[in-house]
Amino acid sequence: MSSARRPATSRPTSRDVARDAGVSQATVSLVLGGKWRGRVSETTAGRVRDSVRELGYRPNLAARSLRLGDTRTALLVVPALTNEFFARVYTGAAAVAAEHDFGVVLYPSPDGTGPARDPFASSRTALDGVIASSMAADALGALRDAGLPLVMLDSDPGDAGAAAWVNLDIADGMRQVTEHLLGLGHRRFVHLASAVDTWTFTVRARAFHEALRAAPDATARTVTAALDVRAGTQAAEAVLAGPGPGPTAIVCDDDILAAGACKAVRRRGLRVPDDISVTGFDDLALATAVEPELTTVRLPAEQVGRHGMEALLAVLDGRPAAQGDLPVRLVPRGSTAAARS
Amino acid sequence: MSSARRPATSRPTSRDVARDAGVSQATVSLVLGGKWRGRVSETTAGRVRDSVRELGYRPNLAARSLRLGDTRTALLVVPALTNEFFARVYTGAAAVAAEHDFGVVLYPSPDGTGPARDPFASSRTALDGVIASSMAADALGALRDAGLPLVMLDSDPGDAGAAAWVNLDIADGMRQVTEHLLGLGHRRFVHLASAVDTWTFTVRARAFHEALRAAPDATARTVTAALDVRAGTQAAEAVLAGPGPGPTAIVCDDDILAAGACKAVRRRGLRVPDDISVTGFDDLALATAVEPELTTVRLPAEQVGRHGMEALLAVLDGRPAAQGDLPVRLVPRGSTAAARS
DNA sequence: CACCCGGGGTTTTACGTATAACTTCGGAGT
DNA sequence: ACTCCGAAGTTATACGTAAAACCCCGGGTG
């Protein structure tokens, strides 16, 4: 504790702490590493800790990583953080990471479809593993080639190359939506689908049409739109202006599209849900901000992130990763009602 | 290129590449570092690059950071990523970082008020600097003490300890809102304020009341709410149910609160904007999803992130960081109209 | 009395990279 | 014929940490 100051420009190292405490650098490392029972006396350890505090020492993480060969850091690849779902996935993953003294660094792909070139070129930090969420199939290549343990979230389990998957039971969610609407007497549907070509939307479309087979007299038109409110409104307007009898229900791939569809319905002078029912998907904050509140499917986004990080940690430990789809739940709200006869 | 394979368990190093290409490790480093004009022949460089490709070599970033003494990585501290504003700040910062071969790692404080204890305990990666956005004053301590260059975004410029600030002209935004409403004839106001105690909301409140002084006959009540739709609705309902003549305009600190306020207005059987005008702030995606669309103030969130990262890079280079508030703009939409006489 | 043992340390080494300092060699200049 | 020089490398070293291997010493054991 003899206050041997160094120039303020460079941070103190464990050697500075050692000098200050009058011990060797190895002793500092032992004390800080926590593995010093029976190796260092209590008094010496106390002196070391005092010096650490006094000098404001923080271990150089680059050096530690180099020495240990791991970085306790994972890369999370998501299409876009501005989508609330992915922000929540990150939050869950980061929470689990923090519990295990792990870090998370993000790579949001600029175009929202996945890393076109090399996700690692943009990541300046050394990594132990990768978690990728909702990637288009053609984006997998670069991730697989990195030679790092890979956990896929919300992606096609048929794609090879990942050590583990964490998925949502999207098909069941869309089934619940469809049965809900069929039960309300709806038969003429529009499916307002996302133009994004990822597993989750593929499954939503397939599950909708499968569930519809329960009602042989049901009909459905499909229209696609980009994932924003305006695009949803335009697509819905176009289909509502089309020929023939209009739909009594619009099933949307996403709450954002549903909000857009509601606006389109009202622009035609019709009312939600009295004239047309509208359903969303994801249960974003948006769903309860609009009026009427959206009937939608709640996705446990944080859980996806949590399970993803837990799976990666398991893989890194050589343990088997828990598998299985996470359940989702229909949340009936004000945007759906019995079909007009 | 003689295919000297290593065990797949451990990644190849620059020494492996050197062996494969028949050169020394130093030569590999020279070629990959790009500083080899006149030091290595074109043919040798080509051989090295072939070996790099063949072995799938990637430099160990921990080792590089240790050697160079910097990490080309910045920490971004934000209250919560699920708030669209901060997701956009991140996006902007990450974009600039990528242009400069820099990385960004996030630290979203769990409770939304700032890092209570040590933001660096949770960051497993070595850092060159810190960018902190919208922090409460008491959260600054830990950030300042880290001894890293600090750039503050959307924070009180009066707080000491930062190397640079990037702020929005929030006061001007709120002034525009207030003048807009005064111009429409409104005189009885409610200010639906955020319960979060950060600089931006302090300024919003102050600027609102200052702008109101232009109309001596104007009155304003203030009510606060947490930053979610439900809380906004409840707070607005409470104030609308109060005694005396109701307000003709509700000025909200945030679009989320404004969406909540709109619901409250309608629950009392009144209409937006015919009976009561409502304004938001931030221009989130939400603002155009609800009906009527919100009159609000557009904040260039990505620009905040961009300027913040540029300021940090400048500070790290020893250059002066550009200062000055970013302009904001009122976006009039359907949620405001002339006051009923 | 010689021997071993365990507590409490220290010395040394390795992790992978970037670069300063050194070597070697073929040709140009005088 | 000798020096000098630049091109094209190589060798050696340092970054800060963790941990393996070693050292010293006082006390219990055969």
Average pLDDT taken over every residue of chain B: 90
Measured CA distances, A98 to A32, A127, A138, A210, B266 (Å): 19, 16, 31, 41, 43
Q: Is the separation of the CB atoms in B162 and B148 below 8 Å?
A: no
- A81 in reach of chain B (CB within 8 A): yes
Contact B291 A262 (CB under 8 A): yes
Residue A288 main-chain phi, psi, to 5 deg: -100, 5
Question: For A126, which of B61, B102, B260 is closest by C-beta distance?
Answer: B61
Domains A71-168+302-326 and A170-299 share a fold: yes
Answer whether 0.75 is exceeded by the pTM: yes
- Rounded to an integer, the average pLDDT of B83-110 is 89
Q: How many CB atoms lie within 10 A of CB B195?
A: 14
Q: Which residue has the higher pLDDT, A300 or B109?
A: A300
Strand D contacted by A35 CB (< 7 A): yes
Q: Which residue has the higher pLDDT, A336 or B148?
A: A336
- Rounded to an integer, the average pLDDT of B276-294 is 97
Measured CA distances, B265 to B136, B245, B251, B283 (Å): 32, 14, 13, 20
Which pLDDT value is given to residue B6?
37
Q: Which residues of A touch B73 (CB under 8 A)?
A: 124-125
pLDDT over 70 at B93, yes or no: yes
pLDDT over 90 at B109, yes or no: no
pLDDT over 50 at B33, yes or no: yes
The first and second tokens of residue B39, run together, are 């030091």
Q: Report the CATH number of the B14-59 domain.
A: 1.10.260.40
Which pLDDT value is given to residue B60?
92
Q: Report the CATH number of the B70-167+302-326 domain.
A: 3.40.50.2300
pLDDT band for position B111 (cuts 50, 70, 90): low
> What CA–CA distance (Å, rounded) separates A302 from A291?
26
Closest CA to B286 of B262, B251, B250: B262
> What CA–CA distance (Å, rounded) separates B144 from B163?
10
Count CB pairs under 8 A between chains A and B: 139
pLDDT over 80 at B106, yes or no: yes
The per-residue pLDDT for range B187-235, each reduced to its tens digit, is 999 999 999 889 999 999 999 999 999 999 999 999 999 999 999 999 9
> What CA–CA distance (Å, rounded) separates A260 from A237?
9
Q: Which CATH code of 3.40.50.20, 3.40.50.2300, 3.30.420.40, 3.40.190.10 fits the domain covering A71-168+302-326?
A: 3.40.50.2300
Q: How many CB atoms lie within 10 A of CB A212?
A: 21
**Residues lower than pLDDT 50 in chain A:** 1-8, 114-116
The first and second tokens of residue B123, run together, are 């960051």
- In this structure, whether the domain defined by A170-299 belongs to CATH 3.40.50.2300 is answered with yes
- Sign for the CA dihedral angle at B262, B266, B268, B271 comes to positive
> What's A111's DSSP letter?
T
Which pLDDT value is given to residue B110?
57
Q: Where are the domains of chain B?
A: 14-59, 70-167+302-326, 170-299
Label the pairing between strands A329-331 and A296-298.
Answer: antiparallel
pLDDT over 80 at B116, yes or no: no
> What CA–CA distance (Å, rounded) separates A17 from A255?
56
> What CA–CA distance (Å, rounded) separates A67 from B220?
63
Give alpha helix (H) positions in chain A.
Answer: 14-21, 25-33, 42-55, 61-68, 84-99, 140-145, 170-183, 199-212, 229-240, 255-267, 301-317
Q: Which residues of B touch A60 (CB under 8 A)?
A: 66, 126
Sheet holding B219-225, edge to edge: B219-225, B188-194, B249-252, B277-279
Which pLDDT value is given to residue B39?
85
The per-residue pLDDT for range B43-84, each reduced to its tens digit, is 999 999 999 999 999 999 999 999 998 888 999 999 889 999
Per DSSP, the three-state class of B190 is strand
Burial A23-60 (b: 16+ CB within 10 A, else e): beeebbbbbbeeebeeebeeebbebbeebbebbebbbb
- B94 in reach of chain A (CB within 8 A): yes
Q: Is the separation of the CB atoms in B92 and B301 below 8 Å?
A: yes
Q: Which residues of A touch B117 (CB under 8 A)?
A: none
Contact A90 B81 (CB under 8 A): yes
- Sign for the CA dihedral angle at B228, B230, B233, B236 comes to negative
Which pLDDT value is given to residue A224?
97
Label the pairing between strands B103-108 and B277-279.
Answer: unpaired
> What's B282's DSSP letter?
B
Reply yes or no: is the peptide bond before residue A320 cis, omega within 30 of 0.
no
- A104 in reach of chain B (CB within 8 A): yes
Residues 4-23 of B with CB under 7 A from strand D: 23
The per-residue pLDDT for range B231-282, each reduced to its tens digit, is 999 999 999 998 888 999 999 999 999 999 999 999 999 999 999 999 999 9
Residue A138: CB partners within 8 Å, gap ≥ 6?
A114
